[in-house]
Chain A
């Protein structure tokens, strides 16, 4: 009887066969640098990597693997999403029932749905964290400007994917989040029937941008089908194309922005990077599994267009925008602000001319950029926290420890500063305007222009401490004067005035004056526009919360309210 070949011999035989060599292009693994390189080059998937990579870029603490984790989550979403598509029919009669089937009857259906839902949430967090980490390390600077912009688009599409997926279960959560979201589109200037200037071009409920998005005048059968196609086909396709671009650019731009050091060590990507990627992906998968087993995805009562849940809240990552809708008209909070955020983020690499701080955390070298960016991020998440935890029935302010079952007093009446039919009296004129438009338009325009231009025009750098003290003192004096005047503002209102006035002054004047007054005019104007729209949000919130001001200026004829 002939002896059986050992395992090693079989392995050798297989790897040396024509089929193996034809498919994998390598011979028996000898673990030489040449083999390792060949492994990367010869594999279409691994070829997105370079062959060798600097040691600095391999450290976990450098990227925290956030981009890779986001991509791993995207893969999990693709797999679970495709599986869910086998049991989901996008019609209003069947959609909700199919979700119930996934929950109650289909093998692993509940797990797949939970995983899809939670991975979507995790991916939103992952992509935002990836963006923050890239920003703080200055890794968007030359030559990576364009890839940053692609990344911002990918972030936007991630949110849009999540949002379109929100409608598919066809429950109350779904239909109302989408109703509110698409009504914001209806408030688009010119293109929306409820937006400023919309009536001038003949925008109606059945011919505007919202109509196209919904495929009707309300969220219905067409909307569900449209969102389904966007969610499953159209948007993932675009994301896929952009991802290829994003990855290819990373590869072309030598992977990490870490500053070069002389005689830097380079390690092979196989196995050193690949194994780290695997660990991150496996960790992600494990995390998603455990999360999805222990926690079920929410499913509310079936959608009912005649009944709005109270309170009705957007998906958490849009709750910040929803909170802004309390203070601003829909065309500002729902269209202009998101537009500014997206365009502003994409513009960052092109307006930031600071050559320092590429590839490492640099607080001192990039004070202005970091402060401005982190202010925006902090506001975004603060607004989310307020909208998510501090808003109760009727979207009233409820502290987290207060019962939602106890009704709140009706909100105070609001007033406008500039508008038609002025009363010439400050806040004893509910629902009316204090001052006329002919005064308001030049005053608002003048204030805006001054805020925009002064930091650059005043060339002498103002001393930090003294200036801040002076402005706080001045604001305190104004508050005190208002307190003893017939207006009789309270101490709390005075404190709000001082705090928010100072914030606007510091972030909107002192910081830009100190750091960007030397920029060329084009970059300066764009930067200032972004900075001022951020601080303007704070000012408007202060005006509403402390002084019941509804609009700074209102021109009802063209639905223009600010």
Chain B
């Protein structure tokens, strides 16, 4: 495009026919120029999206140390409910940890020891101590978290790794067998 011509200079249009002999054709160059602009905007959008994913968060770690496993007695412990939103439950065979989040719409159910069930205050879902739904709209059982034993005998609970299928949830790492 010559700059002196007042009118009508063609606006940039790719795919002008080029001599075949040149290794890098004019068309290639033009194509690259426009593609780079598109790539720049694309990369900016992608980078902005990446920017929105924080690399560090100021929440309690998804993984946490729940103290010595032996300190838990039979039944539902609400020791880590307020801090980590997790029930730690000991039965005859071992220990499991359940995420205190109703699978319906995310409220926190309450443990009713006298009735031996969890009841959600929002829409009335009821769960057994194992986490299975016995009443209300909840579509699936409560989630169980990964449970490990540290070298010192502490419970290490990871809320990022979850399982709710009967059969699987009764096995390691979602269940810690204890004598």
Do A's and B's CB atoms come within 8 Å in the complex? yes
B7 within 8 A of A: yes
A32 nearest in chain B by CB position: B8
Range of interface residues on B (Cβ < 8 Å): 10 to 19
Residue A45, interface by CB 8 Å: no
Across the interface, B48 reaches (CB within 8 A) one of A55, A83, A271, namely A83
A336 on the B face (CB < 8 A): no
Does the CB pair B7–A108 fall under 8 Å?
A: no
Given contacts A107-B51, A108-B51, A112-B51, contact A101 B56 (CB under 8 A): yes
Quick one: which of B10, B15, B47, B54 contacts A108, CB cutoff 8 A? B47
What sequence of 0s and 1s flags, for each residue 90-115 of chain A, a beta carbon within 8 Å of any chain B beta carbon? Answer: 00000000000100011111001000
Distance A101 CA – B55 CA, assembled complex (angstroms): 10
Complex Cα distance A334/B9, Å?
54
- In this assembly, does A33 line the interface, its C-beta being within 8 Å of a C-beta of chain B? yes
* Nearest opposing residue in chain B for A39, CB measure: B11
User: 6 shortest A-B CB distances, which residue pairs?
Assistant: A105-B56, A105-B55, A267-B6, A107-B50, A271-B11, A31-B8
> Would you mind naming 5 contact pairs between A and B with Cβ atoms under 8 Å apart?
A31-B11, A101-B56, A107-B50, A267-B7, A271-B9
Give chain A residues whose Cβ lies under 8 Å from the Cβ of B160: none
Report yes or no: B50 in contact with A108, Cβ–Cβ below 8 A. yes
Q: Which label, helix, strand, loop or mixed, suits the secondary structure of the A interface?
A: mixed
Count, chain A residues at interface, CB 8 A:
22
Among B7, B52, B54, find the residue whose CB has the most chain A CB atoms closer than 10 A. Answer: B7
Q: Please report the C-alpha to C-alpha distance between residue A108 and residue B47 in the assembled complex, in whole angstroms.
A: 8
Chain B residue contacts of A86, Cβ below 8 A: 51-52
Q: Which residues of A contact B48 (CB under 8 A)?
A: 83
Which residues of A (105-137) have their CB < 8 Å from a CB of B? 105-109, 112
What 0/1 pattern do residues 239 to 269 of A give for CB contact below 8 A with B? Answer: 0000000000000000000000000010110
Q: In the complex, are the beta carbons of A29 and B11 less than 8 A apart?
A: yes
- A261 to B7 CA separation, bound complex (whole angstroms): 20
B112 CB to nearest chain A CB (Å): 40
Cα distance A272–B51 when bound, in Å? 36
Of the candidates A32, A55, A83, A112, which one forms a contact with B6 in the assembled complex, judged by CB atoms under 8 Å apart? A55
The 0/1 profile, CB within 8 Å of A marked 1, for residues 1-27 of chain B is 000001111110001000000000000
Residue pair B55, A107 in contact (C-beta under 8 Å): yes
> Are B11 and A33 within 8 A (Cβ)?
no
CB <8 Å contact, B7 and A106:
no
Q: In the complex, what distance in Å separates the CA atom of A87 from the CA atom of B7? A: 49
A6 CB to closest chain B CB (Å) equals 10
Separation of A86 and B51 alpha carbons in the complex (Å): 9
Q: How far does the alpha carbon of A112 sit from the alpha carbon of B56 in the complex, in Å?
A: 17
Taken together as a complex, chains A and B put the C-alpha atoms of A179 and B54 apart, in Å, by 33
Q: For the complex, what is the distance from the CA of A7 to the CA of B9, rounded to whole Å?
A: 23
A33 touches B7 (CB 8 A): yes
